[in-house]
Structure 1
Amino acid sequence: MSTAPATTVVALKRTAGAERTLVCLGFCGGGTAAYHEWAAAMPAGTDLLAVCYPGREGRFAEEYADTWDALAQDATAAVRAATSSGGPYVLFGHSMGGWMAFDVTTRLAAAGDPLPDTLVVSSCNAPDRGLTARDRFPARGDADGELLTWMSVHGLLPAHVLDDEDLTEMAVELMRADIRVRDTFTYTGARITVPLQVLSGAEDAVVGDDAGDRWGGLTTAAHRHDVLPGGHFYTPGVWRTLPDRIPALTAADGQPTAPATGCTGQGTGGLSG
């Protein structure tokens, strides 16, 4: 059985005799902290794990990944280790993490490894059009202040970070490292065979109107699209209880329930943090 250090696969909630596991992948400029408050919202019998990418939190001493492929290899190994017990699991990714979760699922399939019962992608456009100019948002050329504004207004940057020069510098460095990785993404033409749930915010200008339909074309299984209140990270209340919006965590077969397709999100398109 393969294992991963606790600094790579962070256990946010463990329950005796868990029936399934929710495994979360991070967004651009983020770590596992954004998922800590989900522990209180997890359904009974469900473990909560989060993958920590190199260069942050417990892996602070490690070098950042320098390409999308390098980060995807790292994330795939982490998910493989996190699910090595063989129990059913749901894989979740937010924003850039949605593309990463999709990529990880295709890599697991190619290797013949156990696949998630459902893939859940949140606040991201379908990757089949590749990385376009509109997907580079925030952009590599943005000034530090612009990145901090994005993270504080559209992301989950804690307010206390803005009052600490060292923490602010670290946050910008991390965001820039992840933007460099994001900008090396290429779509390989892969599709998945597992059920898919797409989540998007009604007021998120990053996600295009066609997100639900385009994502649905990337799986041969059932899919659904749920539009939630708020922007890129929804409303604070929705984000804190987002596991409640994932039917696969309570469905007997671990798959998303009807509708197979839902209404499409609103916005102009693009991939960000």
Structure 2
Amino acid sequence: MTTAPVNIEELRALIARALEIEPEEVTDEAHFTDELDIDSLLMLEISTRVENTFGVPENTVVVSGARTLAELHAVVVSKLVSETSTQPVIRPRPLRDPAARLFLFHHAGGSHLLYRGWAELFPQDWELCLVEAPGRGRLQSLPLIDNCDRLVDYFHTAIAPLLDRPFGFFGHSMGALIAYQLTRRLHHGGDPLPDWLGVSAYGAPRGEAGADDRPHLMSDDDLRGWLRNVGGCQPQLLDDDAIWHKFAPVFRGDFKLLDTWAPPRAPEPLPVPLSVFGGRRDKLTGEDSLLSWEAFTTHFRRLELYEGDHFYLTSHRRHLAAAITAAMRSSAA
């Protein structure tokens, strides 16, 4: 990977060539989709050019969600900082001595970008830690981990040095399973436990999935159709063949992790306060399934439902952040 400085003018010229316009038309703050009319295929082409020119990981631009030249420049510069390129914990607002840490775990097929912008919604003396699985985002150069226990091992090693003060876990969808299993791992190992555990849009552990409930075994067309039907993926990833084929292996690997995980038999309830969150119109996880988490903790807090589907949280960030803050503070009191 190159370590040469990234000149914003080089990026401006690269984008201009892809759009066949003059460089001065690509201003620093011009919005890619609204003002420069860059669609998903053009963004994929620009991403490839950026990767080849600057030596950043594959699909950097598409995954980053950069909306302007200035944002893209910041993303590329961050990619070239080698000491952070393989770290699974992203701290948007690093603090020297945080009062608490909140670890956020993303959904299947997703990345830490699910929680982009969340740090500003929490207390200023809290440090948010966005935990990213290998094979996506900043960790695209690493192989996917499609086994739950191995991914928990990987995260356990990564976060162990950060458990030196009060902390909490929050996981959405697949991230809820990872947060739960990681809490069990800490409990069984005699390690510090989170003050609070939050699970979102994922039902409590149950028996193994049947043959019809294993998305990782579906054909490509069936998997796309299933994701579209249940609202388990952003439509733009499903509607564009080129983008879908970039992300399909990540979805399939994550679903293999979920489909092959064997729930514990009669697990001991965790001695950790647990709150549950979900969307009222979630086709993947119903209210009864969410409420069944009560049996997995000695301190069940409550179920909070919001208007929306499986990704309800993108429309309720501020309210959800307030609920998480209140739950953590109450649990630590």
The normalised TM-score by structure 2 is: 0.66
CA apart distance, 1:25? 1.3
Partner of 2:132: 52
Equivalent position to 1:187, from 259, 263, 275: 263
Question: Alignment length, in residue pairs?
Answer: 248
CA apart distance, 1:29? 0.8
CA apart distance, 1:19? 1.4
CA apart distance, 1:244? 2.0
Bigger helix share: 2
Q: Counterparts of 1:148 and 1:78 in 2: how far apart (Å)?
A: 35
Q: Give the conservation status (yes or no) of the 8 Å contact 2:134–2:143.
A: yes
Structure 2 counterparts to residues 31-46 of structure 1, below 5 A: 31-46=111-126
1:146-198 CA-to-partner distances (Å, cap 9, x unmatched) read: 43772698246384885571x32121111011111211101113331100000
Q: Give the conservation status (yes or no) of the 8 Å contact 1:34–1:156.
A: no
Q: Give the conservation status (yes or no) of the 8 Å contact 2:98–2:127.
A: yes
Structure (1 or 2) with the larger CA radius of gyration: 2
Q: Counterparts of 1:79 and 1:160 in 2: how far apart (Å)?
A: 30
Q: Give the conservation status (yes or no) of the 8 Å contact 2:88–2:155.
A: no
Q: Which amino acid aligns with 1:41?
A: L
Structure 2 counterparts to residues 147-158 of structure 1, below 5 A: 147=224, 150=227, 154-155=231-232, 157=234
Q: Counterparts of 2:258 and 2:247 in 1: how far apart (Å)?
A: 16
Partner of 1:258: none
CA apart distance, 1:202? 0.8
Equivalent position to 1:140, from 209, 214, 217: 217
CA apart distance, 1:26? 1.8
Partner of 2:274: 196
Partner of 1:70: 150
Q: Which runs of 5+ in 1 are unaligned?
A: 256-273
Q: Counterparts of 1:14 and 1:135 in 2: how far apart (Å)?
A: 44
Shift of the 247–235 alpha-carbon distance from structure 1 to 2, 3 Å rule, reads: closer
Partner of 2:179: 101
Shift of the 65–120 alpha-carbon distance from structure 1 to 2, 3 Å rule, reads: same
Q: Counterparts of 2:89 and 2:125 in 1: how far apart (Å)?
A: 19
Partner of 1:27: 107
The yes-or-no answer on 1:11 pairing with 2:91 is yes
CA apart distance, 1:36? 1.1
Q: Which amino acid aligns with 1:194?
A: V
Shift of the 108–143 alpha-carbon distance from structure 1 to 2, 3 Å rule, reads: same
Q: Counterparts of 2:120 and 2:211 in 1: how far apart (Å)?
A: 36
Q: Give the conservation status (yes or no) of the 8 Å contact 1:92–1:120.
A: yes
Q: Counterparts of 1:17 and 1:236 in 2: how far apart (Å)?
A: 29
Structure 2 counterparts to residues 146-185 of structure 1, below 5 A: 146-147=223-224, 150=227, 154-155=231-232, 157=234, 159=236, 162-163=239-240, 165=242, 167-185=243-261
Q: Which amino acid aligns with 2:157?
A: A
Q: Counterparts of 1:226 and 1:49 in 2: how far apart (Å)?
A: 23
Shift of the 254–157 alpha-carbon distance from structure 1 to 2, 3 Å rule, reads: farther
CA apart distance, 1:238? 0.8
SS at match of 2:141: coil
SS at match of 1:23: strand
Shift of the 9–227 alpha-carbon distance from structure 1 to 2, 3 Å rule, reads: same
Q: Which runs of 5+ in 2 are unaligned?
A: 1-83
Greater CA drift, 197-206 or 8-17: 8-17
Equivalent position to 1:130, from 207, 212, 215: 207
SS at match of 1:103: helix
SS at match of 1:120: strand
Q: Which amino acid aligns with 2:98?
A: A
- Cα RMSD (Å) of the superposition? 2.9
The normalised TM-score by structure 1 is: 0.79
Partner of 1:207: 285
